[in-house]
Amino acid sequence: MKPHQILLMLLAVFVLLLGIMLIFPEEGIKITDNFSLQFKTYKEFFSEKESVDITDIIEDTEVTEDTIVFVEPEVLDSAYIDSVLVVYKPVPIGVDSVRQYLEFPAGNRDLLDTIFAVLANLKNTNDLIRILHYGDSQIEVDRMTSYIRYKLQAAFGGSGPGFLPAEQVFGFKQPMVMSSSDNWHRYTIFPRKDSIIDHKRFGILGNFYSFTAYEPPDSLLVDSSFSVLDESLFNKKEPQTAWLKFENSPVAFDNVRKYTQAKMFFGYNKSDFNLKVFANEQEISNKNIRKTDYLSVESWDFGSSPQEVSFEFSGTDSPEIYGFTFDGYRGVAVDNIPVRGSSGLFFARMDLRLMQQMYQNLNVKLIILQFGGNRVPYDSTNIVGYKNYFGHQIKLLQSITNNVPIIVIGPGDMSQKVKDNYETHENLETVRNMVRLAALENNCAFWDMYEAMGGRNSMASWVFHDPPLASKDFIHFTPNGARIVAQMFYNALIYEYNSSLN
């Protein structure tokens, strides 16, 4: 074929394609309910798709661990002296620029004053307080929580990773490296409760562990000769042994590795069991623990921070183990509580009395709820219903914590592929709006993560940033991205703290 013939053929193809672009419907041609033909329109081909510029976000939030200096505990001049309270004005904590402020119901900015007053006075009271960070898979591997914990402990004191389950079900290495014998059983409230469990006792993490398989109470055995048979004749059990190990993570912040005490929350074991505790492979406790039908707590002091702590159990019936705390003696403990796949609607399905007892024992002063993302992929027919259900969970938490302040963090941007572009999911803003309303209607503060990260169609900029700030699922942050978002949230929180001191 001669050159001019090749040129004419290419021009003909171009004209044909241009013609198809001009007449092809923008919504495509539907072939079946699940399949349609798509073709770039003239407008799409010749218009440049604008990406969201996140340069300012990144520049404002670049920080490394060594730029933060921990404040050693100190007693301030103002305190209770001869039973008289000497009033003082705390020094504001340094904060970078705030990109996205907290929102409050009807502008009620004193909603968080109770937690701020506790934080301001921690160096006088020497209390240990807790902040619980509940969320979906967006906060797994201690994402976001690790940075929030780091900054708060740097500013107000405290150390350690906080509250942890008996096992790390997905094998994550943060905030601690956890290992165990292979005979542990995990029972959880979400996504569904195991049918064998005849109660709602799942603790504040939404699960419990047992080294013997759970057995619901048997009905008393009756025959025609005896009114009641002795169950012990039929329930001879062999003792079981099991172990758990918690080791410092090499990738965790330094403050996480400086815990000096631990507690185990457990209960409802049908018989006695033995528990040995080892710090750095040295036995520090060997105790026989009686059977219980209530929440119990065992605690241990280490004096100095161990590199690892191990627990060895032995008995015929395991207690329900709701989790362990690893903390300093005073300051702030911040707990990471991810519930993969959840939309935050599981609290009402648990034993609220047990949760209340645990919240009181742990001295919880603030709860952060970060949900909504798992509701986005579903159709929008009952999103208002989701708002009401989520609001109901908030009310339950308020009722069992004596109205501890709650901050709700909305979902971040989530992209779906539309032809050759990544665009914000069609339900995202509607779900964000419903989460926001649920928070504000129930007297909670709200932080808009979606707007903080750039708003509509911003996720693609996070994914394609160098280095990536979000993963290729266009949903979850990378560790770098999570730290940036966490810093923006922390800045908004500390801005309100500083404002409350004026």
CATH of residue 165's domain is 2.60.120.260
Domain that holds residue 36: 18-47
180 and 300 inside one domain:
yes
Report d(CA 11, CA 249) in Å as an integer: 63
382 and 502 inside one domain:
yes
Name the nearest CA neighbour of 408 among 343, 321, 480, 484: 343
Tokens of 447: 């932080």
Whether residue 462 contacts residue 54, with contact meaning beta carbons closer than 8 Å, is answered with yes
| Structural domain includes residue 226 | no
Domain count, the chain: 3
pLDDT one-digit tens code per residue, 394-430: 999 999 999 999 999 999 999 998 877 889 999 999 9
288 and 372 inside one domain:
no
Tokens of 27: 């919504």
Lowest mean pLDDT among 6-20, 75-89, 121-135, 205-219: 75-89
Entry pTM: 0.85
Picking from 329, 355, 383, the residue at the C-terminal end of a domain is: 329
Return the H-helix or E-strand segment holding 396: helix 383-400
Picking from 290, 306, 329, the residue at the C-terminal end of a domain is: 329
| Structural domain includes residue 8 | no
Eight-class DSSP state of 391? H
pLDDT one-digit tens code per residue, 131-157: 999 999 999 999 999 999 999 999 999
Picking from 283, 305, 329, the residue at the C-terminal end of a domain is: 329
101 and 91 inside one domain:
yes
Angle at 442 between CA 436 and CA 447, to 5 degrees: 35
Q: What is the pLDDT of residue 421?
A: 85
